[in-house]
Amino acid sequence: MGKLDPHDLEAIAGRTLDHYNRHAEAFWRGTRDHDVSQNLSALIEHIEAEPPFTILDLGCGPGRDLKALTERGHVAVGLEGSERFAEMARGYSGCEVWQQDFLKLSLPAGRFDGVFANAALFHVPTQELPRVLRELRATLKPRGVLLSSNPRGNNEEGWNEGRYGAYWDLATWRRFLTEAGFDEITHYYRPAGLPREQQPWLATVWRRTCEA
């Protein structure tokens, strides 16, 4: 794939977010009962601060995981590009939700103990991923933790049913995160307990390195 120019990036973000806005209610019905407690626990158990933790839910959707984090006693802030999802998340979770495009993040420095990026970062074109990862690193406190769960693949990217996605393998994902200033804590495939060919999701947990 050739280099994406600003117009291409605007189109990718706009079309993907429009898809989610138009299908928001159906998406909520289809995902509200998904069990991602394994991912929530994997993030929380590796944070070294004293609870309650301050956690950014990147791509919070309609607010399912914001509510789950709050029920676990933590302070959760959502970030969501879809206007409709952001409205739904505020109403469902009662949490603060920032409406921001992943490609135009404006994040406070050193605020969060953890970033929960569940089914979110695969929407970032590979070209822009290093910058976005550095921005997430900067919003973490020293030794803060990032959890990312993405549909895995063989480093292909493009349009899929109205949404843009990049589907990385573990080796490529490790390279991007390491170069962005993270140390790997652990990784696993989901859903748990199934043969690998039936585990389409790759979850990885990372710690912000101490170096600047």
Fold designation for 6-208 = Rossmann fold (3.40.50)
- Percent of residues, the chain, with pLDDT higher than 70: 99
How do residues 165-210 score in pLDDT, each as one tens digit? Answer: 999 999 999 999 999 999 999 999 999 999 999 999 999 999 999 7
Q: How far apart are CA 94 and CA 88, in angstroms?
A: 10
Q: What is the mean pLDDT of residues 91-95?
A: 97
- Confirm if 119 and 98 have CB atoms less than 8 A apart: no
Task: Give exposure, 25-56, as e/b (b: 16+ Cβ within 10 Å).
Answer: eebbeeeeeeebeebbebbbebbeeeeebbbb
Q: How far apart are CA 111 and CA 96, in angstroms?
A: 14
- Confirm if 38 and 60 have CB atoms less than 8 A apart: no
- Confirm if 81 and 75 have CB atoms less than 8 A apart: no
- Confirm if 116 and 65 have CB atoms less than 8 A apart: yes
pTM of the model: 0.96
Domain residue ranges of the chain, discontinuous segments joined by +: 6-208
